[in-house]
Chain A
Amino acid sequence: MSAPAVTRPSVLHEVTRGRVRNASRRRLVALALAVLVVAAFAVTLMAGQTFYPPRDVVRVIFGEQVPGASFTVGRLRLPRAVLAVTAGFSFGMAGVTFQTMLRNPLASPDVIGISSGASAAAAIAIVTLSLGETQVSVLAIVAALVVALLVYTLAFRDGVVGTRLILIGIGISAMLDSITSYVLSRAAEWDLQEATRWLTGSLNGVGWDQTVPAVIALAVLTPVLLSQGRNLSALRLGDDTASALGVRVERTRITVIVAAVGLIAFATAAAGPIAFVAFLSGPIAARIVGAGGSLLVPAGLVGSLLVLVADFAGQFAFDTRYPVGVVTGVLGAPYLVHLIVRTHRAGGSI
């Protein structure tokens, strides 16, 4: 190998071109996803049992009274669609945060017990304690944080290893799910409707009361996560490499865990643990965007799109109306199996 030469201008040119090309590709993909989300959002506002033209929908959004549309679009469809976008974005971003941080696609919050914690707490609050809606949400958020802390503490030994955390999380998740099932089996019929939302996730009958806290949480926590985007990308190279690149590994991890669990908790409190959205969004976004850049925003957009489309399909594509979580569950389960089969072929331990 010859002595290092002065950089050839052609190499510099290639590097600049490659970087600009990658960046504009990422921007383009994000833009296309955003357009799809807006389109799906618009369709869910217009279409349904009754169709309202765009003009009516816009007038309702700007606060005008339109006979029929004001109620159907303003009271029913709008909060539902806004929550679909918000919850999807929250789940997608939180999921990809965990997957990136622990370098494992199985490490999403709905696999490692955080969503189950929120569900179990909510089920107990509704059925056993007969609490009101706000208290249920608060309890669910607290439970999600406590479970996250518990899993993290149990997995901690000279730092956190992804595989150990995932296995512990799956165990805790199973325990919590059985608590939820037990509580529901003893539920009075009038509680059951409300409580089953906490099993699969549903947007049926949501109003602004549920939607607004989730929107605020998303608005507050998104900048926190985005500010850690580069640190998160560096963490994908391994803790040692990230540390050598000047990342405070433990501090980054705590910050993104708190932010991501917060997103999960608020979205779950509003819509229930919509199955597999956190788990699916990141890998789908990675496939579209490529491995290089930050996946936070693309995964959030994929999450929004998934929830919007799945909810719409659940309402109108079948004879029976299914809650959104049932539809995303049907999509997510085969992917989970695929992942496990693939990692076993590759010789991975998990």
Chain B
Amino acid sequence: MTTSHSLTAERLTLGYSDRVVVESLDLTVPPGKVTVVVGANACGKSTLLRSMSRLLAPRKGQVLLDGRQVHRMPAKELARTLGLLPQSPIAPEGITVLDLVGRGRHPHQGVFSRWSERDDAAVASALETTQTAELADRAVDELSGGQRQRVWIAMALAQQTDLLLLDEPITFLDASHQIEVLDLLTDLNRTRGTTVVMVLHDLNLAARYADHLIALAAGRIHAAGTPAEVLTEETVETVFGLRSRIIEDPVSGKPLMLPIGRHHVREEAGVGFPQREDSHQA
């Protein structure tokens, strides 16, 4: 699992019916790294991720995996190299964890081929990695949000892909489960060399966990690079329309974004922002 794959987008234009969401976008996913895509709501993050995993055909341009167009590759072959966990996958009523994780073996199986020992081994390893082995016989719809997300990640792991794309994997989780999932993905990246690409909403967690950070604004890449390069007060202002202060995260040494809203802001924090209206009123 140490082979590194190149995943790139070239002049990619994406849209739904009459709406263009992403326009002429070039992107290179650094192999063997954790890439995080951030951006305001409806800026095209999920659309980009869906297109990179063949779910959405490009209007123009192309997505290349090791130089081959993903939209022309045989579906199962692609699914053995590149996995995607959508934002809200659906668990069939009453399905058990073991059955659900087993579905991840789909691209490795033929139409009538029998379940093999390799399939069992992949499922067992996925359960072990995500610490869901104890839940194997439980129904997925009985689990807590954090457990359920780990189970879905286990399904994606059972797929045994070298690239893993995740669309907002921590959005509905509480703080401890968010960290748990991000740590798990980092483990995967470090021990197996899995290339991880994910969309996150939380800028500070994005900066902490990303090797490579991409800030998307209105369907274009505004900035890309290390978190220190990308997460600046200027980027936050342009991408999110939000004023902020960036400091060094005392825990990780990565940049930490402190938003400046209209309320609960000390006078000295407003220094450098003379255009602030409410500071005059106060």
Contact = CB atoms under 8 A, between A and B. Distances in A.
Interface string A218-245: 0000000001001001101110110111
A4 interface: yes
Interface in B168-185: 180, 183-184
Interface in A280-294: 286, 290-293
B94 A290 contact: yes
Contacts of A103: 90, 92
B84 A244 contact: yes
A29 interface: no
Interface in B82-121: 83-86, 88-96, 98-100, 102-104, 106-107, 109, 111-112, 115, 117, 120-121
Interface residues of A, number: 37
A1 B187 contact: yes
A243 B187 contact: no
Interface residues of B, number: 60
Q: Which of B103, B137, B187 has the most CB of A within 10 A?
A: B103
Nearest to B83: A244
Contacts of B86: 238, 240-241, 244
B99 A22 contact: yes
Interface string A132-153: 0000000000000000000000
Contact of A230 (B92, B106, B121, B192): B106
Contacts of B139: 291
Interface in B125-144: 125, 127-129, 131, 133, 136-137, 139
Interface of B: 16-17, 50, 53-55, 75-80, 83-86, 88-96, 98-100, 102-104, 106-107, 109, 111-112, 115, 117, 120-121, 123-125, 127-129, 131, 133, 136-137, 139, 159, 180, 183-184, 187-188, 190-192
Closest 6 CB pairs of A and B: A246-B79, A292-B99, A246-B76, A246-B107, A291-B94, A244-B84
Interface of A: 1, 3-5, 7-8, 11-12, 14-16, 18-19, 22-23, 103, 158, 227, 230, 233-234, 236-238, 240-241, 243-248, 286, 290-293
